[in-house]
C-alpha cells in the first residue's frame, strides 16, 4: 500500500524581507499505484513542493498536512521520511566529495532496510541497476555526483530509486537536460519501478516530452504555488498546444 495525501499545504521560505509564501494551499492525493504528473512554469513552486515533502530545512510549513499511508510525514526528520518510504529524485543532485557511490548506496540501503543487504546479491543488484541505466560498473568507485555529467547525475538518481525501492517517488524535473537517449533510459527505469506492486509516482516536469515515455494517470497544472487544474493525460496535450499562458494570465489578472 502507498497513499500520499497532501492537504492544503502552505510553505514559506525566509528571505531578506521576511518569510515569503511559495506554496499557497496544495491539495493532492496519490493513491496506491498511481502516477501523477505536475506541470508548471518555472518559479511556480514545483521544487518547493518536492523539497517540502522531503523535509528540506530551508522551507517552513505554515499550514496543511502531508501523510503517507496515514502517517504524519511533516513531523518526521528528513531521514525518517526516507525510511518511511519517500524518495526524492532531485533536480540538482549534490556532490559529496570523497564518498564513493558504492559506499553511499550501501549505507543508504542499510539505513532504509534497517539491516545490511546480503553482500553477494547486493553487489549483483547494484551492478544490474547501474548497467540498466547505462552507467559503467566503475561508477561505483567514483565520488557521489562529483564530476558527473548532467545526464549521469539523473541516471544515478534513478538507479537509487530502483535500489532503495521506496513506496512513493517524487521526481523533480528528472527529464530536464537529458538528450533523447538518456530520457528513454531514465524513463525505462521509472517504468520498471512503476511496474512493481503499488508504487506511487509524483512526476514533476516543465515539458510534456517525458510523458510520452511515462504515461501518467493524472495531470495537474501547477501555477503560483497551487494546483490550477487537474485532469487526465489529455490535459498534457492541451498544455503542449497552448502552453501555460491561460493559467498564468488568470493568476495575474
Ligand X SMILES: Nc1ncnc2c1ncn2[C@@H]1O[C@H](COP(=O)(O)OP(=O)(O)O)[C@@H](O)[C@H]1O
Which chain residues interact with other proteins by CB under 8 A?
A: 54-57, 77-79, 81-83, 87-88, 90, 93-100, 102-104, 106-112, 114-117, 119, 122-123, 140-141, 143-144, 160, 164
76's grid cell: 518526521
Minimal distance in Å, beta carbon 81 to other proteins? 8
Residues 6 or more apart in contact with residue 87 via CB below 8 angstroms: 160, 161, 164, 166, 168, 169, 170
Q: How many residues make contact with Mg ion (CB under 5 A)?
A: 3
Q: What is the per-residue binding string for Mg ion in 89-108, x denoting contact by CB under 5 A?
A: --x-----------------
**What distance, in Å, lies between the first and last C-alpha atoms of the chain?**
42
Query: How far does Cα 96 stand from its chain's mean position?
Result: 20
Decide whether 84 or 228 has the Cβ nearer to other proteins.
84
Residue count (the chain): 253
60's grid cell: 517552513
Decide whether 172 or 224 has the Cβ nearer to other proteins.
172
Work out which of 12, 35, 44, 47 binds Mg ion, going by CB under 5 A: 47
Decide whether 46 or 106 has the Cβ nearer to ligand X.
46
For residue 231, the SS3 value is strand
- Which residues contribute to the site for ligand X (CB under 6 A)? 13, 15, 20, 22, 40, 42-48
Look at the alpha carbons of 22, 27, 30, 35 in this order and tell me if their dihedral is positive or negative: negative
Amino acid at each position: 500500500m502507498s497513499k500520499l495525501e497532501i492537504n492544503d499545504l502552505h510553505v514559506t521560505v525566509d528571505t531578506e524581507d521576511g518569510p515569503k509564501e511559495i506554496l499557497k494551499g496544495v491539495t493532492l492525493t496519490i493513491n496506491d499505484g498511481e502516477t501523477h504528473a505536475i506541470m508548471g512554469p518555472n518559479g511556480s513552486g514545483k521544487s518547493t513542493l518536492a523539497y517540502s515533502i522531503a523535509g528540506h530545512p530551508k522551507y517552513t510549513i505554515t499550514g496543511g498536512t502531508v501523510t503517507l499511508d496515514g502517517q504524519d510525514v511533516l513531523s518526521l526528520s528528513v531521514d525518517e521520511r526516507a525510511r518511511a518510504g519517500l524518495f526524492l529524485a532531485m533536480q540538482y543532485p549534490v556532490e559529496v566529495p570523497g564518498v564513493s557511490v558504492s559506499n553511499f548506496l550501501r549505507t543508504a540501503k542499510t539505513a532504509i532496510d534497517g539491516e545490511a543487504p546480503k553482500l553477494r546479491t547486493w553487489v549483483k543488484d547494484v551492478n544490474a541497476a547501474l548497467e540498466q541505466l547505462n552507467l559503467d560498473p566503475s561508477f561505483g568507485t567514483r565520488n557521489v555526483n562529483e564530476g558527473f555529467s548532467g545526464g549521469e547525475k539523473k541516471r544515478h538518481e534513478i538507479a537509487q530509486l530502483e535500489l532503495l525501492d521506496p513506496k512513493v517517488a517524487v521526481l523533480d524535473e528528472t527529464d530536464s537536460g537529458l538528450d533523447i537517449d538518456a530520457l528513454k533510459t531514465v524513463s525505462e527505469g521509472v517504468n520498471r519501478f512503476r511496474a512493481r506492486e503499488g508504487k506511487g509516482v509524483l512526476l514533476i516536469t516543465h515539458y510534456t516530452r517525458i510523458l510520452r515515455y511515462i504515461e501518467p494517470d493524472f495531470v495537474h497544472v501547477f501555477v503560483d504555488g497551487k494546483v490550477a487544474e487537474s485532469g487526465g493525460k489529455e490535459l498534457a496535450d492541451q498544455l503542449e498546444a497552448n502552453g501555460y499562458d491561460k493559467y498564468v494570465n488568470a493568476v495575474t489578472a
